[in-house]
Amino acid sequence: MVTSSLAGIAPNPFDPVYSASKHAIIGLVRSLAPALTESGVTINAVYPGFVDTPMLAGIRDHVLRHHLAIADPDEVADAVQAIVRHGATGEAWVVQAGQPPEPVTFPAIDLMTRRLTGENDPT
């Protein structure tokens, strides 16, 4: 399990470098998952919102003043256990205070080249 932040899923104009590093985790997890599957290893990312940890101490009052949810660390731990039990791999999961973990839905993209029959067909 890899830990990121909601800043990896949503825009964060206040700290774009932090947000970019968290966005990168999605690409890492989704790209590693297929290679690790052959060896039976699963990898997922958890994207918590604000969590009541020492990292939040300096902005806790600001977060509360703006009525933003703050999760207890135990909620995140419970969510991680639920995600592991789910058994999937290569997924990103949002974890918000008072809500069950929820996977992020990504569009299906086919990267294979398609040739149109008869058009520029060298055969």
The series of mean pLDDT values per 10 residues for the chain, 123 residues long, is 93 91 95 94 96 94 93 96 94 95 90 62 52
**pLDDT score of 18:** 93
User: Can you give the pLDDT at residue 122?
Assistant: 53
For residue 18, indicate whether it is catalytic: yes
- Compute, in degrees rounded to 10, the torsion defined by CA atoms 15, 17, 19, 21: -150
Q: How far is CA 99 from CA 16, 35, 63, in A?
A: 26, 31, 18
- Is residue 43 within 8 Å of residue 36, measured between CB atoms? yes
Scanning 38-99, the segments in alpha helix (DSSP H) are: 60-65, 73-86
Task: Find the catalytic residue in 10, 15, 16, 18.
Answer: 18
